[in-house]
Protein backbone atom coordinates (compact mmCIF):
# COMPACT_ATOMS: atom_id res chain seq x y z
CA UNK A 1 0.00 0.00 0.00
CA UNK A 2 1.14 3.49 -0.86
CA UNK A 3 0.11 6.33 1.42
CA UNK A 4 1.09 9.25 -0.79
CA UNK A 5 -0.65 12.66 -0.79
CA UNK A 6 0.63 13.74 -4.21
CA UNK A 7 -1.37 12.04 -6.96
CA UNK A 8 1.31 12.42 -9.63
CA UNK A 9 4.02 10.91 -7.42
CA UNK A 10 1.64 8.14 -6.34
CA UNK A 11 0.88 7.30 -9.98
CA UNK A 12 4.60 7.09 -10.86
CA UNK A 13 5.39 4.89 -7.86
CA UNK A 14 2.33 2.71 -8.41
CA UNK A 15 3.20 2.20 -12.08
CA UNK A 16 6.81 1.24 -11.26
CA UNK A 17 5.92 -1.13 -8.43
CA UNK A 18 3.09 -2.69 -10.44
CA UNK A 19 5.43 -3.28 -13.39
CA UNK A 20 7.51 -5.49 -11.09
CA UNK A 21 4.55 -7.78 -10.47
CA UNK A 22 3.32 -6.36 -7.16
CA UNK A 23 -0.33 -5.45 -6.61
CA UNK A 24 -0.48 -1.85 -5.40
CA UNK A 25 -3.22 -0.13 -3.47
CA UNK A 26 -3.01 3.58 -2.71
CA UNK A 27 -4.79 5.54 -0.02
CA UNK A 28 -4.86 8.92 1.66
CA UNK A 29 -3.49 9.08 5.20
CA UNK A 30 -6.99 9.12 6.74
CA UNK A 31 -8.24 6.22 4.57
CA UNK A 32 -5.28 3.88 5.00
CA UNK A 33 -6.00 2.22 8.36
CA UNK A 34 -9.51 0.95 7.50
CA UNK A 35 -8.14 -0.60 4.30
CA UNK A 36 -5.21 -2.18 6.13
CA UNK A 37 -7.62 -3.62 8.72
CA UNK A 38 -9.30 -5.56 5.89
CA UNK A 39 -6.06 -7.54 5.52
CA UNK A 40 -3.95 -8.62 2.58
CA UNK A 41 -1.47 -5.75 2.83
CA UNK A 42 2.16 -6.93 2.85
CA UNK A 43 3.91 -3.56 3.14
CA UNK A 44 2.93 0.06 3.77
CA UNK A 45 4.99 2.85 2.21
CA UNK A 46 4.13 6.19 3.83
CA UNK A 47 5.25 9.44 2.25
CA UNK A 48 4.93 12.41 4.54
CA UNK A 49 5.55 16.08 4.02
CA UNK A 50 7.71 18.35 6.16
CA UNK A 51 5.32 18.12 9.13
CA UNK A 52 4.78 14.33 8.91
CA UNK A 53 1.30 15.04 10.27
CA UNK A 54 -0.67 11.92 11.08
CA UNK A 55 2.18 9.46 10.54
CA UNK A 56 2.64 8.51 14.19
CA UNK A 57 -1.10 8.00 14.70
CA UNK A 58 -1.35 5.89 11.54
CA UNK A 59 1.68 3.82 12.55
CA UNK A 60 0.24 3.19 16.03
CA UNK A 61 -3.04 2.07 14.49
CA UNK A 62 -1.25 -0.26 12.09
CA UNK A 63 0.99 -1.72 14.79
CA UNK A 64 -2.04 -2.50 16.96
CA UNK A 65 -3.28 -4.94 14.32
CA UNK A 66 -2.62 -8.66 14.84
CA UNK A 67 -0.86 -9.09 11.48
CA UNK A 68 0.59 -5.61 11.12
CA UNK A 69 2.46 -5.11 7.84
CA UNK A 70 5.93 -3.55 7.97
CA UNK A 71 6.21 0.20 7.41
CA UNK A 72 8.53 2.24 5.21
CA UNK A 73 8.78 6.00 5.66
CA UNK A 74 9.63 8.30 2.77
CA UNK A 75 10.09 11.99 3.54
CA UNK A 76 12.04 15.18 3.04
CA UNK A 77 11.46 16.29 6.63
CA UNK A 78 14.58 16.80 8.77
CA UNK A 79 12.71 15.02 11.56
CA UNK A 80 11.83 11.99 9.41
CA UNK A 81 14.79 9.75 10.35
CA UNK A 82 13.84 10.11 14.03
CA UNK A 83 10.15 9.59 13.25
CA UNK A 84 11.08 6.52 11.23
CA UNK A 85 12.73 5.01 14.31
CA UNK A 86 9.83 6.04 16.56
CA UNK A 87 7.26 4.30 14.37
CA UNK A 88 9.38 1.17 13.97
CA UNK A 89 9.77 1.52 10.22
CA UNK A 90 11.77 -1.26 8.57
CA UNK A 91 13.33 1.30 6.25
CA UNK A 92 13.58 5.03 5.60
CA UNK A 93 14.09 6.70 2.25
CA UNK A 94 14.95 10.40 2.01
CA UNK A 95 13.32 12.57 -0.63
CA UNK A 96 13.88 13.59 -3.28
CA UNK A 97 14.09 10.07 -4.64
CA UNK A 98 13.46 8.42 -7.96
CA UNK A 99 10.61 5.96 -8.54
CA UNK A 100 13.28 3.33 -9.22
CA UNK A 101 14.50 3.73 -5.62
CA UNK A 102 11.01 3.03 -4.28
CA UNK A 103 10.64 0.05 -6.62
CA UNK A 104 14.03 -1.32 -5.57
CA UNK A 105 13.18 -0.95 -1.90
CA UNK A 106 9.81 -2.68 -2.30
CA UNK A 107 11.48 -5.51 -4.26
CA UNK A 108 14.10 -5.97 -1.55
CA UNK A 109 11.50 -6.05 1.20
CA UNK A 110 8.91 -8.20 -0.55
CA UNK A 111 11.01 -10.03 -3.07
CA UNK A 112 10.89 -9.41 -6.77
CA UNK A 113 7.95 -11.21 -8.27
CA UNK A 114 8.40 -12.59 -11.72
CA UNK A 115 5.64 -14.07 -13.84
CA UNK A 116 5.64 -17.85 -13.73
CA UNK A 117 4.88 -19.71 -16.93
CA UNK A 118 2.65 -22.63 -16.24
CA UNK A 119 3.25 -25.70 -18.40
CA UNK A 120 0.26 -27.80 -19.31
CA UNK A 121 0.81 -31.52 -18.78
CA UNK A 122 0.05 -32.09 -22.47
CA UNK A 123 2.45 -29.41 -23.69
CA UNK A 124 5.79 -30.69 -24.93
CA UNK A 125 8.75 -29.16 -23.14
CA UNK A 126 11.32 -29.94 -25.76
CA UNK A 127 12.01 -31.99 -28.84
CA UNK A 128 10.85 -35.59 -28.81
CA UNK A 129 13.79 -37.91 -28.32
CA UNK A 130 14.05 -41.64 -28.49
CA UNK A 131 16.36 -43.30 -26.03
CA UNK A 132 17.63 -46.84 -26.04
The CATH number of the domain holding residue 81 is 3.40.50.2300
pLDDT for 74 = 94
Q: pLDDT of 39-86, one tens digit each? A: 999 999 999 876 677 899 999 999 999 989 999 999 998 988 999 999
Number of domains composing the chain: 1
pLDDT for 57 = 92
Q: Is 75 within a domain?
A: yes
* 54 CA to centre of own chain: 19
Output the CA–CA distances (angstroms, integers) from residue 24 to 16, 61, 67, 103, in the order listed.
10, 20, 18, 11
Q: Is 52 within a domain?
A: yes
Complete edge-to-edge strand list for the sheet that includes strand 26-27: 26-27, 2-3, 44-48, 71-75, 91-94
Range of the domain at 85: 2-110
| DSSP 8-state assignment for residue 68 | P
| Poorest-pLDDT segment among 23-27, 33-37, 50-54 | 50-54
Beta strands 91-94 and 44-48: pairing type? Answer: unpaired
Provide the pLDDT confidence category of residue 117 given band limits of 50, 70 and 90: very low
Between residues 121 and 29, the one the model is more confident about: 29
Q: Is 12 within a domain?
A: yes
Beta strands 71-75 and 44-48: pairing type? Answer: parallel
Q: Is 127 within a domain?
A: no
Q: Is 98 within a domain?
A: yes
Q: Is 95 within a domain?
A: yes
Q: Is 45 within a domain?
A: yes
Amino acid sequence: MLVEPDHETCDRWQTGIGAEGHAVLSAAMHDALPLIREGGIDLVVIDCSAQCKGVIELARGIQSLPDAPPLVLVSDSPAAPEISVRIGAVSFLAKPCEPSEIVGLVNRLLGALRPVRMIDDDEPTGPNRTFG
